[in-house]
Chain A
Amino acid sequence: MLRLKIEKRLTPTWKVVFSVTVLSIFLAFFVIGFIFLGYGINPVKAYIEILIETVGNFYGITQILWQSIPLLLCGVGLLLAFKASFWNIGAEGQLLMGSLGATWAALFSGLPDFLLIPMIFILGFAGGAIWGLVSTVLKAKFKVNEVITTLMMNYIAMNIILYLIHGPWKGEEMKGFAYTNSFPQPAWLPTLGMSYIHWPTLIMGLVAVAVIYLIISRTKLGYEVKVIGQSQKAAKYAGISYFQTIFWVMLISGGCAGLAGAGEVAGVHHMLRHPDQISLGYGYTGIIVAWLARGNPIVTILTSLLFGAIYVAGDVMQLSFGLPFQIVNVFTGMILFFLISSDHLMRYKISFRREE
């Protein structure tokens, strides 16, 4: 007779982690198939078409790379914050403030041309970092829950930008529209060939991955982050300053999201416009990009590509099937549900044993 045996295991092997992750993504696609059915679309045909339009041709692949740039920057920054158990849900606002800093550099700094692009990235980083640090100070000094503050800061950032584009920064060239003026040509980020890939930001993303990898694996800060992430109490006994550590973590985490925002305005839109157009929810999706990578910064390269592909798939669904772009959030929410559920199951080993 067959007997089911369930054992506990301490750390699941990478094979288990990988297959469970792939399985949860498939499950999410399966469940979302029913939404397609509800719209009278054959899900199998839809998925085939989506595959062809995304990874099936060169243009699709450049689109994926392009969409994954902000996701990579947001995701890898968030990964560092999550490693310290600091629930930064505010990458969206940090990204927007980065785009604000970059816009100021491009339109109002009056710097000579060759300094414009460096300044766009510096102020982009600063904008995101400052926005992230507000929540850090509130958490470390006043014990205010960071989930709430980082989230509220998203809404504040959004409204500040709305205020600027409707009011003081509204461009004269733009007639009735709520945009700023276009950036001067020297402030445009160069793109790869005919694609939209603004490569300087992509390089920033890869550098961020390398830096965060080194921080986590090789530095004292990385060690402190891990201790705080495991137990704040233990960190306190070990003499690790919570505020100092989280300060550096959020400076980098917010700064990375800020760079993503700078890349979006200087590399894609060449102006500051409605926050919903600058960020298609990159800051929120970044949370899942980070979560999927399970604490390994290098894996965020893969996970951001995956979600880049889902974003491009969102475009395809919009254009070919007339589904709203919001379907992307359904995907991400669903994948997250399946992933966290599988986390628990992975801690058990199920095997069958034949018994006489």
Chain B
Amino acid sequence: MEWQLWIIETLRRALAYGTPLLLGTLGEIYTERSGILNLGVEGMMILGAFTGFVTTFVTGNPWIGFLMGALVGGAASLIHAFLSINLRVIQVVSGLALTLFGLGLTGVLGRGWEGQPLKVSLEMFSVPYLKEIPILGPIVFTEQNVLVYIGIGFALLLWIVLFKTSWGITIRSVGEDPATADALGINIPLVRYLCTFIGGVLAGIGGAYLSIIYRPSWTQGMTSGMGWIVIALTIFSLWHPLMAIVGSYIFGSLFYLSFRLQPWVAPELLTIMPYLFTILAPMFLNVHRTLRRRMGAPAALGIPYSREEE
């Protein structure tokens, strides 16, 4: 049956296309759970994409590329952390500045690298035995790159940490009620710094994925709004790492379909699909009453914490 194969192929590719979104979303979930709103994801991703590409190009080793992408993404997030935690600035503006800065800097530094193809990338592989499982096998275990599994692994790990360990309780309490957490002796700036850093590292890896695996080359502005979709996905997934998997793969399939449907629909209109979905999805979620009740963001999200009375 042809249409069945078609669906399986779409879902298989959705995993590969959704992985950078998943990585970024997991990071932003941690950042926001600790009460910091970082709208600089787009900037951190593009910085990760650029450094990931250049490092891989120079060293010939994509793993070093991912490492550098992660470090640069993390370093960029520390700017936002410093401004938000120490200087207590308006976090919306600081995140925007980070995005502008990242897009600008990579545009300047990356000009000479444009159009150079990456000769090494991570190989696609199929998992023996597991790929024989009906339906699941051809979707999850056939012709994937290893980052897809790393992404799922991160989601599981971060879910366990956030909901099954005392560290998770600490992070969540800092995001919900920092004053009480402070009274309990929790070091609020430290928790927030760490969570923002995790967000930056994962966004950096997500960006590096774009330039090393997704489209093994560097183009200025190649994240094309993915960082903003990550921020929307953080909300759809109700700040929950497992829900982030579902959301990211839905978007992954949209990205894949926008290439796949090109013989029938104008490519520019197809490109709109994920953006349009980003706007419409929360609308539907909000209409649903029980979902709306659960949609609550961490109570202290975006509010700087200080012991001084304001």
Report A's interface with B, CB cutoff 8 A: 35, 87, 89, 134, 138, 142-145, 147-149, 151-153, 155-156, 159-160, 162-163, 166-167, 284, 287, 291, 323-334, 336-337, 340-341, 343-345
Contact A336 B269, beta carbon cutoff 8 Å: no
Collect the chain B residues with CB atoms within 8 Å of residue A149's CB: 279
**Bound Cα distance A287, B97 (Å):** 10
Contact of A336 among B93, B276, B292 (CB under 8 A): B93
The answer to whether the Cβ of B1 comes within 8 Å of any Cβ in the partner chain is no
Contact of A148 among B94, B224, B232 (CB under 8 A): B232
| Cβ of B300 to closest chain A Cβ, rounded Å | 17
Contact B225 A152, beta carbon cutoff 8 Å: yes
Contact B100 A145, beta carbon cutoff 8 Å: no
Contact A329 B101, beta carbon cutoff 8 Å: yes
**Bound Cα distance A155, B232 (Å):** 14
Contact B228 A334, beta carbon cutoff 8 Å: no
Give the segment of B16-24, B84-92, B143-151, B240-248 that binds chain A.
Answer: B84-92
Which B72-86 residues sit within 8 Å CB-CB of chain A? 79, 83
Contact of B104 among A148, A329, A345 (CB under 8 A): A329
**Bound Cα distance A325, B104 (Å):** 9
**Bound Cα distance A148, B233 (Å):** 10
Question: DSSP majority for the A interface?
Answer: helix
The answer to whether the Cβ of B98 comes within 8 Å of any Cβ in the partner chain is yes
The answer to whether the Cβ of B111 comes within 8 Å of any Cβ in the partner chain is yes
Give the segment of B53-61, B121-129, B180-188, B280-288 that binds chain A.
Answer: B280-288
Contact B272 A159, beta carbon cutoff 8 Å: yes
Contact of B96 among A155, A287, A324 (CB under 8 A): A287
Which residue of B99, B231, B272 has the most chain A CB atoms within 10 A of its CB atom? B272
Contact of A329 among B103, B269, B283 (CB under 8 A): B103
Contact B279 A138, beta carbon cutoff 8 Å: yes
**Bound Cα distance A143, B292 (Å):** 10
| Given A152-B279, A344-B89, also A324-B266 (CB < 8 A) | no
| Given A167-B266, A337-B97, A344-B89, also A327-B108 (CB < 8 A) | yes
Contact B220 A326, beta carbon cutoff 8 Å: yes
What are 29 inter-chain pairs, A to B, with CB distance below 8 A? A35-B108, A89-B96, A138-B283, A142-B282, A142-B286, A142-B287, A143-B286, A143-B292, A144-B283, A145-B235, A148-B232, A149-B279, A151-B225, A151-B228, A152-B232, A152-B275, A152-B278, A155-B271, A160-B268, A163-B269, A324-B108, A326-B104, A326-B111, A330-B101, A333-B97, A333-B105, A340-B90, A340-B97, A341-B89
Q: Please name 17 further chain A to chain B contacts, defined as beta carbons within 8 Å, in addition to the given A144-B282, A152-B228, A333-B102, sorted by A numbering.
A: A142-B282, A145-B232, A151-B225, A152-B276, A155-B225, A284-B100, A287-B96, A326-B106, A326-B108, A326-B111, A329-B107, A330-B104, A336-B100, A340-B83, A340-B90, A341-B87, A341-B89
**Bound Cα distance A163, B268 (Å):** 5
Collect the chain A residues with CB atoms within 8 Å of residue B97's CB: 333-334, 336-337, 340
* Chain B interfacial residues counted at CB < 8 A: 45
| Cβ of A242 to closest chain B Cβ, rounded Å | 15
Contact A327 B271, beta carbon cutoff 8 Å: no
Contact B279 A326, beta carbon cutoff 8 Å: no
Question: Top 3 closest A-B pairs, CB basis?
Answer: A329-B104, A326-B107, A333-B101
Collect the chain B residues with CB atoms within 8 Å of residue A324's CB: 107-108, 111
The answer to whether the Cβ of B191 comes within 8 Å of any Cβ in the partner chain is no
| Cβ of B11 to closest chain A Cβ, rounded Å | 25
- Name A343's closest neighbour in chain B (CB-CB): B89
Contact A156 B93, beta carbon cutoff 8 Å: no
Question: DSSP majority for the B interface?
Answer: helix
Collect the chain A residues with CB atoms within 8 Å of residue B292's CB: 143
Contact A340 B93, beta carbon cutoff 8 Å: yes
Collect the chain B residues with CB atoms within 8 Å of residue A325's CB: 107
Collect the chain A residues with CB atoms within 8 Å of residue B269's CB: 159, 163
Collect the chain B residues with CB atoms within 8 Å of residue A138's CB: 279, 283
Collect the chain A residues with CB atoms within 8 Å of residue B279's CB: 134, 138, 144, 148-149, 152-153
The answer to whether the Cβ of B174 comes within 8 Å of any Cβ in the partner chain is no
Collect the chain B residues with CB atoms within 8 Å of residue A343's CB: 87, 89-90
The answer to whether the Cβ of B203 comes within 8 Å of any Cβ in the partner chain is no
The answer to whether the Cβ of B212 comes within 8 Å of any Cβ in the partner chain is no
- Name B270's closest neighbour in chain A (CB-CB): A159
Contact B94 A340, beta carbon cutoff 8 Å: yes
Contact A344 B111, beta carbon cutoff 8 Å: no
Collect the chain B residues with CB atoms within 8 Å of residue A329's CB: 100-101, 103-105, 107
| Given A324-B108, A333-B101, also A340-B89 (CB < 8 A) | yes
The answer to whether the Cβ of B44 comes within 8 Å of any Cβ in the partner chain is no
**Bound Cα distance A329, B220 (Å):** 13
| Cβ of B64 to closest chain A Cβ, rounded Å | 22
**Bound Cα distance A74, B222 (Å):** 25
The answer to whether the Cβ of B29 comes within 8 Å of any Cβ in the partner chain is no
Collect the chain B residues with CB atoms within 8 Å of residue A143's CB: 286, 292
Contact A87 B268, beta carbon cutoff 8 Å: no
Collect the chain A residues with CB atoms within 8 Å of residue B89's CB: 340-341, 343-344
Collect the chain A residues with CB atoms within 8 Å of residue B155's CB: none
**Bound Cα distance A27, B98 (Å):** 17
**Bound Cα distance A326, B99 (Å):** 13
| Cβ of B99 to closest chain A Cβ, rounded Å | 8
Which B35-83 residues sit within 8 Å CB-CB of chain A? 39, 79, 83
Collect the chain A residues with CB atoms within 8 Å of residue B94's CB: 337, 340
**Bound Cα distance A152, B271 (Å):** 12
Contact A87 B92, beta carbon cutoff 8 Å: yes
**Bound Cα distance A328, B111 (Å):** 14
Contact A148 B88, beta carbon cutoff 8 Å: no
**Bound Cα distance A153, B228 (Å):** 11
Contact of B83 among A145, A163, A341 (CB under 8 A): A341
Contact A344 B275, beta carbon cutoff 8 Å: no
**Bound Cα distance A156, B235 (Å):** 20
Collect the chain A residues with CB atoms within 8 Å of residue B232's CB: 145, 148, 152
Which residue of B87, B90, B98, B108 has the most chain A CB atoms within 10 A of its CB atom? B108
